[in-house]
């Protein structure tokens, strides 16, 4: 008969990671971040999702200035990006993406909190990211992923409101992009 662990041995083991509501990993949702679950309207021709409405006041969508499509190869990490003024709105429309956020605002109640948010075709959602929060994306699918970015500033190559930190080699953000398989 299989040996049943003692409760002391059982309790000494790590507990499973549990997603919070509205399904993300982290101690709490970073202050000011909004996760908008999107509907997929399916029929026999295919499916449709409304990814953003410019009258969405909670997402501050009226300030969106342009729309970009960011394509990533499987396994690729893009990040860490940090904006001082720009708000970002991100929706993964093709494939699946792990979006990781790190609150870098010293005055924030969630300073230094990390959030992992999984989004894409299998879990459509729009994410609002205030400035001051490091963000990066990883394509966790088997094909090209596409993330639609809707920033609140026009892109100005001569004055980009963005700073970057290497996603794997930095002494600022305590995060490992490798897959957590426990």
* Residue (93 or 114) nearer to ligand TDO, CB: 93
How many angstroms separate the CA atoms of 56 and 36, rounded?
A: 11
How many angstroms separate the CA atoms of 98 and 179, rounded?
A: 10
Q: How far is CA 107 from the centre of its chain?
A: 22
* Residue (88 or 103) nearer to ligand TDO, CB: 88
For ligand TDO, which stretch binds (CB under 6 A), given 30-38, 39-47, 147-155, 171-179?
147-155
* Residue (95 or 149) nearer to ligand TDO, CB: 149
Q: Are 77 and 136 within 8 A, CB to CB? A: yes
Q: Which of 51, 80, 81, 97 binds ligand TDO (CB under 6 A)?
A: 81
**Residue 128 in contact with ligand TDO, rule: CB under 6 A:** no
Compute the radius of gyration of the chain from its Cα atoms: 18
- Distance in Å, CB of 124 to ligand TDO, minimum: 16
Helix (H) or strand (E) holding 10: helix 7-11
- Residues lying near ligand TDO in the complex (CB under 6 A) are found at 68, 70, 78, 81, 88, 90, 147, 149, 155
């Amino acid at each position: 008969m299989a040996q049943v662990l003692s409760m002391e041995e059982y309790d000494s083991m790590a507990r499973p990671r549990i997603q919070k509501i509205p399904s993300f990993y982290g101690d709490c949702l970073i202050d000011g971040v909004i996760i908008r679950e999107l509907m997929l309207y399916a029929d026999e021709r295919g499916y449709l999702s409304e990814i953003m409405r410019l009258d969405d006041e909670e997402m501050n969508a009226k300030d969106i200035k342009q729309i970009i499509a960011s394509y990533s190869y499987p396994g690729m990490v893009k990040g860490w990006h940090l904006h001082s003024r720009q708000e970002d709105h991100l929706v993964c429309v093709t494939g699946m993406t792990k979006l990781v956020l790190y609150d870098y605002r010293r005055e924030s109640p969630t300073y230094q909190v990390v959030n992992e948010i999984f989004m894409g075709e299998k879990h459509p959602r729009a994410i609002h990211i205030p400035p001051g929060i490091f963000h990066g994306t990883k394509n966790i699918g088997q094909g090209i992923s596409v993330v639609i970015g809707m920033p609140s500033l026009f892109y100005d190559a001569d004055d980009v409101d963005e700073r970057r930190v290497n996603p794997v080699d930095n002494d600022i953000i305590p995060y490992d992009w490798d897959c957590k398989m426990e």
